[in-house]
Amino acid sequence: MPVGLRVNIRGERMRAAAEAFTSAVQALASQVFPWASEMRVRHEWSYAWYDHEPDPIALPATDKNTPK
């Protein structure tokens, strides 16, 4: 943020991004979880990010994720 700027210009963009993400998950939820009757959304803002390289985590082999 530029020094002296009194308005948080990022807040609205973060809120809009969170709402768009929620809408996308809601659109897929009934297909992915057909047994679910609701979803609960928790909004949490964190200003202390810990940046590190992603850790690869192996998942169990299935006929759909293993090349033949």
Q: Taking 60 as the threshold, does the pLDDT of residue 35 lie above it?
A: yes
Q: What is the pLDDT of residue 23?
A: 92
For residue 58, is it within any domain?
no
Average pLDDT, the chain: 80
Mean pLDDT, residues 32-60? 79
- Taking the CA atoms of residue 21, residue 26, residue 31 and residue 35 in that order, the dihedral angle to the nearest 10 degrees is 130
Nearby residues of 39 by Cβ (< 8 Å), 6 or more positions away:
25, 26, 29
**Residue range 9-21: average pLDDT?**
83
Q: CA–CA separation, 5 vs 3, rounded Å?
A: 6
More confident residue, 19 or 53: 19
Give the side-chain half-sphere CA count within 13 A for 40: 2
- Is residue 66 in a domain? no
- Its domain, for residue 4, covers 1-37
pTM over 0.75: no
Please check whether residue 32 lies inside any domain of the structure.
yes
Per-residue pLDDT band at 65 (split at 50, 70, 90): confident
